[in-house]
């Protein structure tokens, strides 16, 4: 069997479309179809259910897909091993959540460009879980995201914590009259948070559920600084990593609310495929800058 045929099969499953797979691999749709047919003939198995839209793998196809991803990762690692001595070049595909983009990206991209002038950077934003999924699909070379301490990453992904920080509950200046609260004392004021899918929001919801309390959302919006501005205007409570609070232009209009039974912490994780070849150094530089910016 040919590696190109295997690559086409993986692309079709990932894209759920032969047309999109053809675009991703810069081939024609008939070429993708021929490669799929060749791959199925070599294995003597039907790998795709062609009666469904979008295309889905058969039960055997799903098992073959998982095995193919592992094989292609090892082939990439072999190629990178040979290329490891060369200067970093090409494209470095980075992922960051929108929460962190405003804080770390400008410095990181400027320093990477200055240090590795032949390297082009491409940035994708998304929740941490979606960045992991994109990395497993071979769409990212590295990502930085916020997860709880002790986060376990999938096999094949190397990870390290580059910083730990507390999450702070914040309210409009002067609206927190007591020195200490419990969740049950303040949750009814409602929250200004990211839309569903945010790890901070999920952690808060778990803490509330454990006490039989519900999560009341006043406003949901992307962008930490926008959220803090809304909190400062009295729209509800906010939840933010301490370094992002200290860097916000709204910090003097906010009070940190001491919630005695809710003291979450979050780590900034740098994660990437185990074999990066000549991208190892720029990825390490990206992690160093991201960690330093959040500690500043």
Dihedral of the CA atoms 40, 43, 44, 49 (nearest 10)?
Answer: -40
Query: 228 with 193: CB under 8 angstroms?
Result: no
Give me the pLDDT at residue 232, please.
Answer: 93
pLDDT at 247: 81
Sign of CA dihedral 28, 18, 66, 90: positive
Residue 218 vs residues 87, 191, 195: alpha-carbon distances, Å: 50, 5, 11
Whole-angstrom distance, CA of residue 183 vs CA of residue 5: 56
| pLDDT at res. 202 | 84
Domains within the chain, CATH numbers bracketed: 3-83 (1.10.10.10), 90-164+267-295 (3.40.190.10), 165-265 (3.40.190.10)
The pLDDT assigned to 254 comes to: 93
User: Does this model's pTM top 0.75?
Assistant: no
Cα 206 versus chain centre, distance: 21
Question: What are the phi and psi torsion angles at 164 (to 5°)?
Answer: -125, 140
In Å, how far are 62, 104, 145, 280, 290 from 243, measured between CA atoms?
43, 11, 14, 27, 12
Residue 51 CB neighbours (<10 A): 7
Sequential pLDDT tens for the chain (296 residues): 788 889 899 988 888 888 888 888 888 989 999 999 999 999 999 998 888 888 888 999 899 998 888 888 777 767 665 655 566 777 889 998 877 777 778 888 899 999 998 888 999 888 888 899 888 888 889 999 888 888 888 888 999 998 888 889 999 998 877 888 888 888 788 999 888 777 788 888 888 899 999 888 999 988 888 899 999 999 999 988 888 888 889 999 999 989 988 888 888 899 998 877 788 889 999 999 888 877 75
Q: How many CB atoms lie within 10 A of CB 64?
A: 21
Q: Hey, is 288 helix, strand or coil?
A: helix
pLDDT of residue 218: 92
pLDDT at residue 296, rounded to an integer? 56
d(CA 193, CA 228): 9
Q: How many CB atoms lie within 10 A of CB 40?
A: 17
Beta pairing class for 119-125 and 90-96: parallel
Whole-angstrom Cα distance, residue 69 to residue 12?
12
């Amino acid at each position: 069997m040919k590696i190109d045929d295997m690559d086409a099969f993986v692309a079709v499953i990932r894209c759920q479309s032969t047309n999109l797979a053809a675009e991703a691999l810069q081939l024609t749709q008939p070429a993708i179809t021929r490669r799929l047919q060749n791959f199925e003939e070599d294995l003597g198995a039907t790998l795709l259910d062609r009666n469904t839209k979008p295309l889905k793998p058969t039960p055997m196809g799903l098992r073959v897909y998982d095995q193919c991803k592992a094989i292609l990762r090892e082939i990439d690692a072999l190629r990178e091993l040979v290329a490891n001595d060369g200067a970093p070049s090409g494209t470095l595909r980075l992922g960051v959540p929108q929460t962190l983009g405003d804080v770390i990206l400008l410095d990181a991209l400027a320093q990477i460009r200055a240090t590795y002038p032949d390297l082009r950077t491409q940035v994708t934003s998304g929740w941490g879980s979606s960045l992991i999924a994109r990395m497993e699909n071979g769409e990212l070379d590295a990502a930085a995201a916020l997860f709880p301490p002790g986060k376990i990453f999938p096999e094949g992904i190397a990870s390290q914590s580059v910083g730990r920080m507390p999450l702070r509950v914040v309210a409009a200046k002067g609206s927190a009259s007591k020195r200490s609260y419990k969740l049950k004392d303040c949750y009814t004021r409602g929250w200004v948070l990211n839309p569903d899918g945010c790890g901070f929001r999920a952690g808060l919801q778990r803490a509330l559920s454990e006490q039989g309390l519900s999560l009341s959302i006043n406003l949901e919006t992307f962008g930490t600084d926008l959220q803090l501005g809304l909190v400062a205007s009295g729209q509800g409570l906010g939840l933010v990593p301490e370094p992002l609070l200290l860097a916000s232009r709204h910090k003097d209009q906010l009070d940190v609310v001491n919630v005695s039974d809710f003291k979450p912490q979050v780590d900034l994780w740098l994660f990437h495929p185990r074999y990066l070849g000549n991208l190892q150094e720029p990825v390490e530089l990206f992690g160093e800058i991201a960690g330093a910016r959040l500690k500043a």
